[in-house]
Structure 1
Amino acid sequence: MNNIHQQTFSVTLADRAAMKQQTPAVLWFTGLSGAGKSTIANLVEQQLLAMGRHTYLLDGDNVRRGLCADLGFSDADRVENIRRVAEVAALMTDAGLIVLAAFISPFKAEREAARQSIGADRFFEIYVDAPLAVAERRDVKGLYAKARRGEIRHFTGIDSPYEAPEAPALVIKTEHETPERSAARVVELLLGDAGDGW
């Protein structure tokens, strides 16, 4: 690291944000597999697009097909997965985008590291809260069943812990409201936090 030096360029985050006429941010959706993170994030992105916002959605499964294809699901690999995603999200906000990140991200320390990497003023932690029993009932991929049979190791909620956020910007209890209502609440959070700047 001694031979690596930070470069300073003329075009800044403020310039890119002004060009897009929006305030960059990261909406970080965390929760168990099957809680509804990707479904809600997808609906939020559609709403923001309809409002003329510039966005990008980072999804756990999709990222593991490329950027994190070399990682498994051990605790150490999960930490590295989230570290990489946070760095990508930070770069995307520097480009002026509103980023939606949908990841189980089970550990508090890694979510806090993501907040620090991205910037606390641009990081909105959204806890998509579904009880384990509800998430298992929605198990369209059959992952919980495989984990229960021991075919998948280190599966969050079964043999690997999930550490719930202590003070998220928003809690969404998906067993009690529709995905459409949940998405609307996320957009309200974003717009309400900074008014017309978003």
Structure 2
Amino acid sequence: MTAGQQIQESDVTGATVWLTGLPSAGKTTIARELAGLLRARGRRVEVLDGDEIREFLSAGLGFSREDRHTNVQRIGFVAELLARNGVLALVPVIAPFTDSREAVRKRHQTHGTPYLEVHVATPVEVCSVRDVKGLYAKQAAGEISGLTGVDDPYEEPESPDLRIESQDQTVPESAAALHALLTERGLA
């Protein structure tokens, strides 16, 4: 690698794009679609999938409000670190509480790192039909409780940078809308 290439890569602005929404809203699917598009154009991108983070970084945490907050803060720390180093961190994580998401936003502001919040605003009725992980069926059968948006709270973002209604558009259309926002902000 030449010195010119190193300078060029260090000039790349990283950012965190937090996709929040109910289980089975389409957050991870949209993030992975966008990541593929951006990688094909040479952009450094990481998808911090909530399920993978729970398995590897937040193992042992439950789903109490305190544990959910701790999980979101851990993910926010890793995302900001990646973004600060020129990576576009796509974070498809429910993050049901406004105060947890705001704490992550403030961490990014403290470091001068761009942060965008995207609300994948899929209605619970659509999510329960998609039921990618079988959570809604398990909740309905009484096998689990504390399902976000059903019997546990989800605080919708009041002013997200983008709201995606995934039930009204295809995955490529949703990813394109998010790509357009990133382009507009100089982050694509």
Q: TM-score, normalised by structure 1?
A: 0.87
Q: Report if aligned partners of 1:17, 1:96 keep a CA contact under 8 Å in 2.
A: no
Confirm whether residue 168 of structure 1 aligns to residue 156 of structure 2: no
How far does residue 75 in structure 1 lie from its aligned partner after superposition? 1.2
Paired position in structure 2 for 1:155: 147
How far does residue 155 in structure 1 lie from its aligned partner after superposition? 1.2
Provide structure 1 residue ranges, at least 5 long, that are not aligned to the other structure.
Answer: 1-15
Paired position in structure 2 for 1:23: 13
Out of 86, 96, 101, the position equivalent to 1:106 is: 96
CA 124–168 in structure 1, closer or farther in 2 if over 3 Å, else same: same
Provide structure 2 residue ranges, at least 5 long, that are not aligned to the other structure.
Answer: 1-5
Q: Report if aligned partners of 2:83, 2:113 keep a CA contact under 8 Å in 1.
A: no
Paired position in structure 2 for 1:140: 132
Q: Report if aligned partners of 2:25, 2:121 keep a CA contact under 8 Å in 1.
A: yes
Confirm whether residue 183 of structure 1 aligns to residue 183 of structure 2: no
Q: Report if aligned partners of 2:49, 2:91 keep a CA contact under 8 Å in 1.
A: yes
Out of 105, 114, 117, the position equivalent to 1:125 is: 117
Q: Report if aligned partners of 1:34, 1:136 keep a CA contact under 8 Å in 2.
A: yes
The more displaced of 21-30 and 130-139 is: 21-30
Q: Which amino acid aligns with 2:53?
A: V
Paired position in structure 2 for 1:49: 39
Confirm whether residue 89 of structure 1 aligns to residue 62 of structure 2: no
Identity, in percent, stands at: 42
How far does residue 153 in structure 1 lie from its aligned partner after superposition? 2.2
* Alpha-carbon distance in structure 2 between the residues aligned to 1:152 and 1:190: 37
Question: SS of the residue aligned with 1:64?
Answer: helix
Out of 68, 82, 99, the position equivalent to 1:78 is: 68
C-alpha RMSD over aligned residues: 1.6
Question: SS of the residue aligned with 2:164?
Answer: strand
CA 147–17 in structure 1, closer or farther in 2 if over 3 Å, else same: farther
State the Cα deviation string for residues 43-102 of structure 1 (Å, max 9, x = none). 010111011111111011111111011111111111110010001111111221110001
* Alpha-carbon distance in structure 2 between the residues aligned to 1:152 and 1:18: 50
* Alpha-carbon distance in structure 2 between the residues aligned to 1:25 and 1:107: 21
* Alpha-carbon distance in structure 2 between the residues aligned to 1:185 and 1:20: 27
Q: Which amino acid aligns with 2:74?
A: R
